[in-house]
Structure 1
């Protein structure tokens, strides 16, 4: 735990960790307070309720992920990204947001839709071949988030913890390999796109 963080930020980070591990129902205010090294009363003082704390976590994770996306894609460019430096920040937020979506968070679901809209616009300006940009972006977004839903099975298959730098790097290299090589010939794609 970073001693430089304010009590509010420590509580938020502890809640993100425990909500990710246990779900919203499985993490109590007392557990979050213990993880943050504060009293339950201080959690309630800063956030009022567990639902308000969850909403604050959702908003923080969403905003931070969009901030990271802007930094990495718009400012640095994907060709300059160092996955090893991204992983410690991105992975906990990604796993939290996926868990929050699974637990029914409106904020996390709205983030999914925002990500789909962003991907749709990106696809239109980057030469993606499709007659349904919305479906293309929605499926890509779901595929990328699905690795977090199936994290346990994926780690079993890879024999590696995705939270480690090497595991996260390996995951991202697999995405790069998949996204950078066509899986179908033009003829196969044309045939499979037909309405049968």
Structure 2
């Protein structure tokens, strides 16, 4: 099997990293409940005892995977957007397998109804809020709400991957499907759907409704 992150030769990774990467791959494919400690250890080429030595439990391993995947997503987005690596012909192809695996992992993780799923969503909102404040100042007066809605929209699209894939005619967790979806998202974010007059009226209406609700 190929390594999970696309960052280094699998053979050169430490045992801890091999366990983490094997877990990410299996959690993305099967989900947490359908993946055992023995499955992960076998995929990583280590003993179950070594897995427990490094992580203590499968739940602790999952938490470590959650944080790692989110950190990788944020880092890649910063490299593409802030460091302008989108202009590099080699960068996107090099990280695209990581992006696909990460989205597949996040989709599985958010849909299992566990406390970790809620924690991951909250982490995604917090990271997005921080990123917006740093890289898109002035985009909104309510960064928390903006971040929560943005994460909800994007994770909801991934959660409905069967329907979105069917509509696009390609699985969005494959290169073809994801790139078509990414192209549509680029168009979506680069072209305002509402004209300024409508936006001004909508903001005024929202302000009036909020004031009425607070005074009730």
Could you state the TM-score of these two structures normalised by the residue count of structure 2? 0.75
Q: Count residues with an aligned counterpart.
A: 193
Superimposed CA distance per residue, residues 57-101 of structure 1 (whole angstroms, 9 cap, x where no aligned partner): 122223222322332222226565864333212221233234334
Aligned to 1:90: 99
- Alignment root-mean-square deviation, CA: 2.6
Is 1:154 paired with 2:136? Answer: no
CA contact (8 A) 1:20 1:95 kept: yes
Distance change in 2, residues 1:85/1:171 (3 Å): farther
Deviation at 1:121, TM superposition (A): 4.3
Is 2:98 aligned against 1:100? no
Aligned mates of 1:191, 1:80 — CA distance in 2? 42
Aligned to 1:169: 179
| SS of residue in 2 equivalent to 1:188 | helix
* Equivalent position SS for 2:180: helix
Of structures 1 and 2, the one scoring higher in RCO (CA 8 A, sep 6+) is 1
Matched, 1:10 2:18: yes
**Equivalent of residue 192 in structure 2, options 175, 182, 185:** 182
* Per-residue deviation, 1:132: 3.3
Structure 2 CA distance for partners of 1:101 and 1:120, relative to 1, 3 Å: farther
Higher alpha-carbon deviation: 147-156 or 37-46? 37-46
Q: Residues 110 and 131 from structure 1, CA distance in 2 versus in 1: closer, same or farther, beyond 3 angstroms?
A: closer
- TM value normalised by structure 1: 0.81
Structure 2 partner of 1:144: 154
Q: Where does residue 21 of structure 1 map in the other structure?
A: 29
For residue 25 of structure 1, report the CA deviation from its aligned partner: 2.1
Q: For structure 1, list consecutive stretches of 5 or more residues without a partner in the other structure.
A: none
Contact 2:22-2:40 within 8 A present in 1 as well: yes
CA distance in 2, matches of 1:168, 1:86: 13
Which residue matches 2:53? Answer: 45
In the aligned structure 2, how far is the partner of 1:131 from the partner of 1:53? Answer: 37
Alpha-carbon distance in structure 2 between the residues aligned to 1:42 and 1:58: 20
